[in-house]
Amino acid sequence: MSPKKIKDFRKDTELYSYIGKKFVKLEEGEVLEEVFDKPTLMTLYRLMNKGVIEHLFGVVKSGKEAKIYRGITPNGEELAVKIYLTVSAEFRRGMLPYIEGDIRFSHVKRDTRSLIYAWAVKEFRNLKKAWEIGVRVPKPYAVENNVLVMEFIGKEGIPAPLLKDVEPSNPQKIYRKLLDYIKTLYRDGELVHGDLSEYNIMVLDDEPVIFDMSQAVLLSHPMADQLLKRDILNLNRFFKKLGVKTKPENEIYGWIVENESKF
């Protein structure tokens, strides 16, 4: 083995050892080197050195696009650490329509890794905007490459349930709150969530928390109007099943877009 390879091997070994000590719990049968590629490990290493993350625990949500781990800060506050997978060709195809129409990312390269890094930044910016205008989302803390660090929605390490899995004590109230959030996003944030449904709304203390903001688009995006109508339709479909007296989709649309006062 050449001196350079020996040096690189030692660096890699030190990196895996450092991250391994910070990783309190992997899934059964997982090996650190197989879960994350080296660029992702380096990103985690930098975030840990900056004091953003102190420890990582097990997966709280796993999907085709990303895995979310529970973490803690040096002060012991709980975090959600979302790590976007960098090897999914299907994910790349799915994200392209949302990025290509977004003027914020018009100069992003089209290779998979660059797109995924842009996707992480996109979600961070969307969350930040939503949080600043009063929409209840996980508060974003940091983003670097394919790693997004945000508020953990839950208690004592247990994530809050999805809307689809709970029976709200007051579904009418949650329905109205979500409509208000859609309007606030549109009017004050110039954003449309684009994929809003009972699958990406959590319920904490009987209040809705919207997440998965990566696909949210600016109003200038060519798909914005279509996506807004789909969000409204999805909410009405779900809450009708709960017995909520929903408003007609066209009235909701006019109330949001035209800022009609009667609603």
Closest CA to 247 of 196, 228, 203, 239: 239
CA–CA dist 72, 86 (Å, integer): 24
Alpha-carbon span 263 to 234, nearest angstrom = 19
> Cβ(236)–Cβ(243) under 8 Å?
no
Residue 38 φ then ψ, to 5°: -60, -45
195 has catalytic annotation: yes
- Strand pairing class (207-210; 217-218): unpaired
Q: State the catalytic residue, choosing from 188, 195, 205, 231.
A: 195
Any catalytic annotation for residue 165? no
Q: How many residues does the chain have?
A: 263
CA separation for the pair 82, 145 (Å, rounded) = 11
Which one from 102, 165, 212, 231 is the annotated catalytic residue? 212
**Which residues are 130's β-sheet partners?**
none
Q: Which residues are catalytic, by number?
A: 195, 212
